[in-house]
Amino acid sequence: MTSNNLFIQIKTCIMENLNVNKSSSANEADVFPGKLQRRAFLQYAGASAAALALTTAGCKKDRSPILSFGATLDFKDDFGVLNYAYALEQLEAAFYTQVAANPPANFTTAQRNYFQDVQYHEIAHREFFKKALGTAAIGSLEVDFSSINFSDGASVLAAAKTFEDLGVAAYNGAGVRLKTDAYLVIAGQIVSVEARHAAWVRDQISNGSFSDLNDLTALGANVAGGLDGALTPDKVLNAASKFIKTKINVINL
Amino acid sequence: MNILNILDEIEKVDGEIYERISPRRKAMQDFFQVGKKISLAALPLALGSLFNKAYGQTTPSTVNDVLNFALTLEYLEYHFYNHALVATPNLVPAGAPNGAITTIRNHEKAHVDLLKGALGANARTELVYDNFDFTAGGTFGTVYSDYVTFLKVATAFEDTGVRAYKGQAPALKGNAVLTTALQIHSVEARHASHLRQMLAANGATGLKPWISLGAGGVSNDTGIAAVDPVYARENNTVQANIEITAINGTAVTRAAAAESFDEFLTKAEVVTIANLFLKPGFKL
């Protein structure tokens, strides 16, 4: 589906192009005498390589409708795992962007500043995955934050705690699926920043709860072993589902 | 990416691509079915370049080597905190500070026990408090008499631990042990976040829970020159050949770019740091 998204997009672009140029093609039969080759296709499309400067970016406006079909995370390879991370980072970035734009009135200056910091960290993660995945990336997810009261500091902190602790458990649980060293290191480079966020947010709620493993057992933490949460993608997505409108399909998990 | 490039890539794995997309043949459905074949071919350069990035982990370590290396670091952390709590009970103020250090000490003890148990007969020789020199040859001479110095060393240890586990992750790739190591790794990151806040509350004004850019863009944001090696490359803003600053036209600053990704340390770098705190005869 990752690639299908791409194809729907390409198809849309091609169709637009074909429609635009159809009238300029005098006779279809002449253009396609036998097996359609690249040259013939381009002729049919009425464009030279230079003229057909149609980029995927130029078709961006077609992305939103595509997402009504949902997004598919195919865990058959590393790109499924990276798209999974991309989905979670989209969720976090959207949340912090909303908080940073209009922070709760009772937030301290330090809290406002650090929520802005975290906002940019999550945007950086989101955009990193988007750029790294390129055409293999899933589209933009539609979020649902109706359960969060953005004018209430406690509600915002509680949501931030949920997102960060869940994010940590997600990366911890997904690492073992990665087959490429470089991706594994990148995931590690991100998860520790999420854990720093989680600890700070927790301390805002209750100082000293930065690493309260008893409170994290539902996310897979092991108190006796001093181990943080770790969850499989299905459990993480289930926990995150109330914040995501876009239907997410999971295959090959 | 120009659509022609995409089509060219598709053509490499499906020579009939142009025929498939002929509108004469109602072939759009075929077009969709091709999707699975090209997921790899259509990958952008950015991902491909990831494969070529050297991570300095050229010597593959066995799982036991990695776990024993981790065990050494956990011994170091555990004895550092435990000595403070047991032998210098007035060093860490009662209340929240003492509670936090106790929490962290207990986690480090749990990590030691877990790793020892996992390694069984393969576990390294136990390290005891007397095997360490937490003054680092006098660099931190007041580590057990001055609370702020203690916090500085503690922060450096936790930030080192976070970076050390990260660097070893590839050696555990695909192994169930990796998940356990990652679960320890993020606990260390939580510790680091809290210790940085403790340090910030005790003179290091503005020190963030996450590692930021140091003054003038240097890699060490703590301002403690003696721990420079702990923060080597933490001012990096390029990940997998992608510049994070202002990425995709966003307002991500250089500082945010550096903060948003922690960096790894190679085993050799960690050994150099750890050896500063190990007495002769016990160095790695």
CA distance A171 to chain B (A): 9
A28 and A145 both lie in a single domain:
no
Q: What is the pLDDT of residues A67-110, one digit of tens each?
A: 446 899 999 999 999 999 999 999 999 999 999 999 999 999 99
Positive or negative, the CA dihedral B195, B200, B203, B206 is positive
User: C-alpha angle with apex B125: B165 to B134, nearest 5 degrees?
Assistant: 65
Q: Which residues of chain B are within 8 Å of residue A49 when distances are taken between CB atoms?
A: 4
A142 and A236 both lie in a single domain:
yes
A80 and A161 both lie in a single domain:
yes
Cβ atoms of B1 and B38 closer than 8 Å: no
Question: What is the reported pLDDT for B49?
Answer: 31
**Orientation of helix B147-168 relative to helix B267-275, angle to 10°:** 150
Cβ atoms of A195 and A172 closer than 8 Å: no
Contact of A31 with chain B, judged by CB distance below 8 Å, is answered with no
Cβ atoms of B151 and B199 closer than 8 Å: yes
| Alpha helical stretches, state H, chain B | 3-13, 17-20, 28-38, 45-52, 63-87, 96-119, 147-168, 176-200, 254-260, 267-275
A101 and A154 both lie in a single domain:
yes
CA distance B205 to chain A (A): 12
A19 and A108 both lie in a single domain:
no
Quick one: pLDDT band at residue A50, thresholds 50, 70, 90? very low
Question: What is the reported pLDDT for B62?
Answer: 82
Question: Which of A24, A39, A63 finishes a domain?
Answer: A63
A82 and A200 both lie in a single domain:
yes
Q: Which residues of chain A are within 8 Å of residue B253 when distances are taken between CB atoms?
A: 120
Question: What is the reported pLDDT for B44?
Answer: 38
The tokens of B139 are what?
């660099």
A48 and A130 both lie in a single domain:
no
The tokens of B70 are what?
């981790």
Question: What is the reported pLDDT for A188?
Answer: 98
Residue of B nearest to A136 (CA): B43
Torsion of CA A116, A121, A122, A125, to 10 degrees: 160
Count of domains in chain A?
2
Burial grade of B150 (CB within 10 A; 0-12, 13-18, 19 or more): buried
Q: CB-CB: which of A8, A193, A208 is closest to B210? A: A193
**At residue A183, does pLDDT exceed 80?**
yes
Q: How many CB atoms lie within 10 A of CB A201?
A: 27
What mean pLDDT value characterizes chain B? 85
Q: CB-CB: which of B46, B191, B253 is closest to A211? A: B191
A74 and A52 both lie in a single domain:
no
A27 and A126 both lie in a single domain:
no
A215-234 residues touching B, CB cutoff 8 A: 220-230
A92 and A208 both lie in a single domain:
yes
A127 and A205 both lie in a single domain:
yes
The tokens of B109 are what?
């003890």
Question: What is the reported pLDDT for B233?
Answer: 97
Question: What is the reported pLDDT for B280?
Answer: 97
Question: Which of A17, A36, A63 finishes a domain?
Answer: A63
Does the distance separating the beta carbons of B57 and A128 come in below 8 Å? no
CA distance A190 to chain B (A): 5
Cβ atoms of B202 and B251 closer than 8 Å: no
B277: left (phi over 0), alpha (psi -120 to 50) or beta: alpha
Domains of chain B, by residue range, sit at 3-44, 63-177+265-275
Domain of residue A199: give its range: 70-251
* CATH number assigned to the domain comprising residue A132: 1.20.1260.10
Question: How many contacts, defined by CB atoms under 8 Å, are there between A and B?
Answer: 294
Query: How far are the Cα atoms of A77, B68, B119, B169 from residue B63, in angstroms, in the given order?
Result: 23, 9, 10, 10
Ranges of residues in chain B whose predicted pLDDT is under 50: 1-8, 10-11, 14-60
Residue of A nearest to B53 (CA): A182
**At residue A9, does pLDDT exceed 90?**
no
Question: What is the reported pLDDT for A196?
Answer: 98
CA distance A186 to chain B (A): 8
Contact of A34 with chain B, judged by CB distance below 8 Å, is answered with no
Q: Which residues of chain A are within 8 Å of residue B99 when distances are taken between CB atoms?
A: 208
Put simply, whether the predicted model's pTM sits higher than 0.95 gets the answer no
Q: What is the pLDDT of residues A194-248, one digit of tens each?
A: 999 999 999 999 999 999 999 999 999 999 999 999 999 999 999 999 999 999 9
Residues 6+ apart with CB under 8 A from B225: none
Question: What is the reported pLDDT for B61?
Answer: 54
Question: Which of A63, A80, A97 finishes a domain?
Answer: A63
Task: Give the distance between the most distant pair of CA atoms in chain B.
Answer: 85
What mean pLDDT value characterizes chain A? 82
A222 and A106 both lie in a single domain:
yes
